[in-house]
Amino acid sequence: MLDIKFLRENPEIVRENIKKKFQDQKLPLVDEAIDLDAKKRAAQQEADSLRAERNSISKQIGMFMAKGQKDDAENAKKKVGEFAARLSELEVLEAELDEKLTTVMMTIPNIIDDSVPIGKDDSENVEVQRYGEPVVPDFEIPYHTEIMEKFEGIDLDSARKVAGNGFYYLMGDIARLHSAVISYARDFMINRGFTYCVPPFMIRSNVVTGVMSFAEMDAMMYKIEGEDLYLIGTSEHSMIGKFIDTITPEEKLPYTLTSYSPCFRKEKGAHGIEERGVYRIHQFEKQEMIVVCKPEESRMWFDKLWQNTVDLFRSLDIPVRTLECCSGDLADLKVKSVDVEAWSPRQKKYFEVGSCSNLTDAQARRLKIRVKGKNGNYLAHTLNNTVVAPPRMLIAFLENNLQDDGSVRIPEALRPYMGGMEKIVKK
């Protein structure tokens, strides 16, 4: 969420940013916000003036009574009563205007970084760099669920009966591989100095609206009926919420945390053929990393975060590339994002396995995440990035480590988490 003072003083910059994000339908919101802000400040000024005058007259009442000027005292009391009635009206008006202004401000997108390429959607994202040599073997690689089925490692039919489409049972060595990848990712991040955390898997509505846009909330979040609780779509939500309404001494920053959680997503909309199977589902598990830092350090941490994901995938012999997300592909709170994509030898292309985002002070402003500095308090910057999110990670892992005899090689780094197993073979 933008600072209203910034919008008030730089409306053209905000309008131009909206155009860069191809959200022209939001252009009228700039004038609406300016109008609401002016009305709110006018109401505040009138209320402040009335309070000052009321206090002055209230002091006169005692003086009138002491002098026996009862009529003057009664007239003063009457004025105080009138002020009280008007102040009550203004307080209601201020609250209404503040609520409307907040809703509008939460709909206006954050100012994107100057380095972000301009484009309408993810088809215009820009490749930055490749890591590892993508290989297409001389044998056919089956679809990922077919590979899992050969190891008796997945049951989609039973899951549909139990929960519907978008769910799965993982079993045997595939389930073990799933857990091994999560555990390896946890230790990988701990070894890089991050503090491990298991957060709440449900959050309240004020946290939801603090960490994401209304559009994301509608498309992603499952609400618990009859309660002010939502299932998290990623542990970033509850991890950033951990710092709601806090003031942290700047010498304690940065907070570098890596969190595990199940994730629950509606995944609204139709998806292509490559998103069948377990690519896009309603429930999955994820290892995440988040950083809360001083503003001047967020660019540095942004580069460190996506590099962690690249390094982890390369440690498991999976070729990856990084993509700079274009303006139209950025969620409203994000200033800059880089996607990490893994190589799919079956599809002969890369697919997304993680996303790193810098939100600068957008979430901090909504959630009042502040830092106590030498010259006063200021807003922190927040960042997040995917470490691994099985089962997408499993797709990349299985395809890149499948052998021509049908077995799946276990890279050396993962073997301790698989009981020393060097490969997965058919039962």
How confident is the prediction for the chain on average, in pLDDT? Answer: 93
Identify the pLDDT of residue 67.
67
Position 214 pLDDT exceeds 60: yes
What's the pLDDT tens digit per position in 379-400?
A: 999 999 999 999 899 999 999 9
What's the pLDDT tens digit per position in 220-260?
A: 999 999 999 999 999 999 999 999 999 999 999 999 999 99
| 186 vs 208: CA distance, rounded Å | 25
Closest CA to 185 of 280, 279, 258: 258
| 197 vs 260: CA distance, rounded Å | 7
- 176-180, 245-249, 264-268, 356-360: range with lowest mean pLDDT: 264-268
Percent of the chain's residues with pLDDT above 90: 82
Residue spans in the chain of domains classed CATH 1.10.287.40: 4-105
- Per-residue tokens: 93: 């008006």
Identify the pLDDT of residue 129.
98
Per-residue pLDDT averaged across 182-201, rounded?
A: 98
Residue spans in the chain of domains classed CATH 3.30.930.10: 122-424
- Which single residue is written with the structure tokens 């519907």? 164
Identify the pLDDT of residue 272.
46
Position 165 pLDDT exceeds 70: yes
| 254 vs 43: CA distance, rounded Å | 39
Residue 402 DSSP label: B
Per-residue pLDDT averaged across 162-172, rounded?
A: 93
| 281 vs 264: CA distance, rounded Å | 9
Q: Where are the alpha helices (DSSP H) in 286-349?
A: 298-315
Identify the pLDDT of residue 217.
87
Position 273 pLDDT exceeds 50: no
Contact 16, 23 (CB under 8 A): no
- Per-residue tokens: 125: 């994202």
Position 26 pLDDT exceeds 60: yes
Identify the pLDDT of residue 160.
92
Q: Provide the angle, in degrees to the nearest 10, between the axes of the packed helices 11-20 and 28-66.
A: 150
Beta strand 222-223 with 126-131 is unpaired
Identify the pLDDT of residue 298.
97
Other Cβ atoms less than 10 A from the Cβ of 64: the count is 18
Q: Is the pTM of this model over 0.75?
A: yes
DSSP assignment of 191-245 equals: TTTPEEE---SEE-HHHHHHHS-HHHHHHHPEEPTTSS-EE-SSHHHHHHHTTTT
Identify the pLDDT of residue 64.
67
Identify the pLDDT of residue 269.
55
Closest CA to 168 of 153, 154, 178: 154
Q: What's the chain's length in residues? A: 427
Per-residue pLDDT averaged across 165-180, rounded?
A: 95
Apex 193 CA angle, 321 and 412, nearest 5: 55
Cα 66 to Cα 63, 145, 334, distances in angstroms: 5, 91, 64
Other Cβ atoms less than 10 A from the Cβ of 288: the count is 27
Identify the pLDDT of residue 270.
43
Percent of the chain's residues with pLDDT above 70: 94
- 34-43, 68-77, 309-318: range with lowest mean pLDDT: 68-77
Position 312 pLDDT exceeds 50: yes
CATH topology of domain 4-105: Helix Hairpins (1.10.287)
Position 133 pLDDT exceeds 50: yes
Helix %, strand %, coil % of the chain (to 5): 50, 20, 30
What's the pLDDT tens digit per position in 47-103?
A: 988 888 877 776 676 676 766 777 766 677 777 777 788 888 899 999 999 999 999
The confidence band for 23, taking pLDDT boundaries of 50, 70 and 90, is: very high
Identify the pLDDT of residue 78.
74
Identify the pLDDT of residue 277.
84
**CATH number, domain 122-424, options 3.40.50.2000, 3.30.930.10, 2.40.110.10, 3.50.50.60:** 3.30.930.10
Cα 112 to Cα 116, 160, 412, distances in angstroms: 7, 41, 41
Long-range contacts of 137-144 (CB under 8 A, 24+ apart): 137/345, 137/402, 137/404, 138/404, 139/404, 141/345, 141/346, 141/399, 141/402, 142/346, 143/277, 143/346, 144/277, 144/278, 144/279, 144/346, 144/394, 144/395, 144/398, 144/399
The confidence band for 34, taking pLDDT boundaries of 50, 70 and 90, is: very high
Cα 270 to Cα 12, 124, 275, 289, 325, distances in angstroms: 36, 20, 9, 29, 22
